[in-house]
Structure 1
């Protein structure tokens, strides 16, 4: 997501860097795993949030 924001110029670099520095490690790991799943195979956002909030254990 940050790559898209950078490419589109939606925020200045300093703001993006600050966001990345403050993002929780678990959320970043979740997003990285989700990015490896093809769009058509992804669960709904509601399902992802439920998994994350329940203590996500990684992608199979």
Structure 2
């Protein structure tokens, strides 16, 4: 993605593990997905796919 030095995108497995860890330890998970709509291959996963209970304090898009 533009302005991403490595072009790395978090896998769904990593996002799930981060989400579960944050839930267990009462930590806020923030995911900067400013360029999530710019990709050259398959669409990347997004943190919005997590939290089936929709337990969001806020979403800024």
> Normalising to structure 2: TM-score of the pair?
0.28
Relative contact order higher in (CA < 8 Å, ≥ 6 apart): 2
More helix by share: 1
